[in-house]
Amino acid sequence: MMKLNNIIDCDVHPHPRNMEEIRQYLPLPWRHRLQMVNSRGMYMNPIHVNRLDSETPDGGFPCSDPDFMRTQLMDAYGINYAILLPRAFATMYPNPDFAAAVAAAYNDWLADRWLDNNNKDGRCKGSITVAPQDPTLAVKEIERWAGHPHMVQVMMDGGSRAPYGQRQFYPIYEACAHYGLPVAFHPGTEGVGINESPAPGYPSTYIEWHVGLMLAFQAHLISFITEGVFERFPKLKVVLVEGGSAWLPPLLWRLEAEWKALREEVPWVKKRPSEYVRDHVRITSQPLENPDNKQQLLQIFEMMGAKDILMFSSDYPHWDFDSPTRAFPKLEEEIKRRIFYENAKELYNLD
pLDDT tens digits along 49-68: 888 899 999 999 999 999 99
In this structure, which CATH number among 3.90.226.10, 3.30.470.10, 3.40.630.90, 3.20.20.140 belongs to the domain 8-348? 3.20.20.140
**Quick one: average pLDDT of 123-140?**
98
Please check the confidence at residue 343 and state whether its pLDDT lies above 70: yes
CA–CA dist 234, 174 (Å, integer): 10
CA–CA dist 345, 23 (Å, integer): 34
CA–CA dist 78, 9 (Å, integer): 10
| pLDDT of 251 | 98
Banded pLDDT at 232 (limits 50, 70, 90): very high
Please report, rounded to a whole number, the percentage of residues in the chain having pLDDT higher than 90. Answer: 85
Banded pLDDT at 39 (limits 50, 70, 90): low
Banded pLDDT at 1 (limits 50, 70, 90): low
**Quick one: average pLDDT of 23-45?**
80
Q: Please check whether residue 188 is in contact with residue 171, taking contact to mean a CB–CB distance below 8 angstroms.
A: no
Banded pLDDT at 3 (limits 50, 70, 90): confident
Over the range 239-259, which residues count as b (16 or more CB within 10 Å of their CB) and which as e? bbbbbbbbbbbebbeebeeeb
Please check the confidence at residue 319 and state whether its pLDDT lies above 90: no
Banded pLDDT at 194 (limits 50, 70, 90): very high
For the whole model, what pTM was predicted? 0.96
Please check the confidence at residue 328 and state whether its pLDDT lies above 90: no
**Quick one: average pLDDT of 86-98?**
96
